[in-house]
Every structure is written in structure tokens, then in C-alpha cells.
């Protein structure tokens, strides 16, 4: 987890489903950086991709924000090619 990740998750909790461009529009970080971070957050189950470039906060992401889950407890899902 990086400091910007929590800001992205908080923005998603407050604003709903977001694209990387929307993350940039909310002055969290650049669109390119948001795209990278959202992909990483999806690997850990904190957000899920619901359409190309569109992400939503998961129950795991909400638990993290509510301090019910520590980032050290998260495991990346294995990608298959």
C-alpha cells in the first residue's frame, strides 16, 4: 500500500465508481498513476474492475477504510495468462 492508495479508496467511498480520469479530476493523483494504483488495488481485492477502466470499492476495501482490516493481511491474487 502506498499513501495515495488510501486517498483513492476514500474518494471511491465518497463518490462511487471511478475511472482513473475521475481520480485525477478529484485531485488525488494523475490519471496514469491512478490507473496503475487501481490495477494494484484490484489485485488485492480492495477494488474491482466492473468495466474497462471503471472500478468500484469492494467490501474488503470498505473494511480496510473502517480499520477492520490491516493492509498486512492482504494477499495479491494470482494472475493467470
Neighbours of 19 (CB within 10 A): 17
Residues 55 and 11: their CA atoms lie apart, in Å, by 12
C-alpha 45, offset from chain centre: 8
- pTM of the predicted model, to two decimals? 0.86
DSSP code of 47?
E
Place of cell 471511478: 18
Cβ atoms within 10 Å, residue 11: 20
| Domain residue limits, the chain | 3-70
- The residue assigned the cell 485525477 is 24
CATH architecture, domain defined by 3-70: Orthogonal Bundle (1.10)
pLDDT tens digit string along 12-47? 999 999 999 999 999 999 999 999 999 999 999 999
The DSSP secondary-structure symbol of 72 reads G
Amino acid at each position: 500500500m502506498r499513501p495515495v492508495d488510501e486517498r483513492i479508496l476514500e474518494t471511491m467511498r465518497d463518490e462511487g465508481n471511478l475511472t482513473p480520469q475521475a481520480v485525477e479530476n478529484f485531485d488525488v493523483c494523475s490519471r496514469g498513476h491512478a490507473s496503475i494504483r487501481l490495477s494494484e488495488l484490484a489485485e488485492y481485492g480492495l477494488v474491482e474492475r466492473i468495466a474497462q477502466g471503471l472500478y468500484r470499492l469492494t467490501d474488503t476495501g470498505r473494511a480496510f477504510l473502517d480499520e477492520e482490516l490491516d493492509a498486512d493481511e492482504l494477499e495479491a491474487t494470482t494472475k493467470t495468462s
